[in-house]
Amino acid sequence: MTGRYDVMVVGSGPNGLAAAAVLARAGLSVLIREGQRTVGGGVRSAFLTRPGFVHDLCSAVYPLAVGSPLLSTLPLGAQGLEGVHPPYPLAHPFDDGTAVALARSIDETAEALGPDGARYRGVVPHLLNAGLSSAARSWPPATLAAASPVC
């Protein structure tokens, strides 16, 4: 490390990079230090199997990023970031070999849960209403719908 910086950000995960961007936009000189070989923290991907197939290395679901006031001000698309909205944003395997997949629709997910579907239909809307900040409640309905299955 040479030179002098106004700020040093330790860690290049989403929060560190966002903080560094805000500070740099404010005119401060920023140094980002990362202990891993690649930046991104828990939001990293790599080509691990067949050519052109990208794997998430840590985490994969960011339903609220689409409506982030800060992220919407950054030229992330110009840097190659593309938000993908699959019909089934995530799945969870169980020890017995079965799995459950969360659809983008509360009703579709509930149907797949069989006898637990009614409980899911009853709980998820309340979690969404309780868990979203007042700012998020003003987002377009499509954004909230995209977030609903993963909450």
Q: Where are the domains of the chain?
A: 87-151
Mean pLDDT of 98-118: 90
Looking at residue 12, its pLDDT comes to 92
- Amino acid in position 117: G
- Distance, in Å, from the CA atom of 32 to the CA atom of 40, rounded to the nearest integer, reads 11
pTM above 0.75, yes or no: no
Measured over all CA atoms, what is the biggest interatomic distance in the chain, rounded to whole angstroms?
A: 63
In terms of C-beta density within 10 A (0-12 exposed, 13-18 middle, 19 or more buried), how is residue 30 classed? middle
Mean pLDDT of 26-40: 93
pLDDT at 22 over 80: yes
pLDDT at 8 over 90: yes
Looking at residue 19, its pLDDT comes to 93
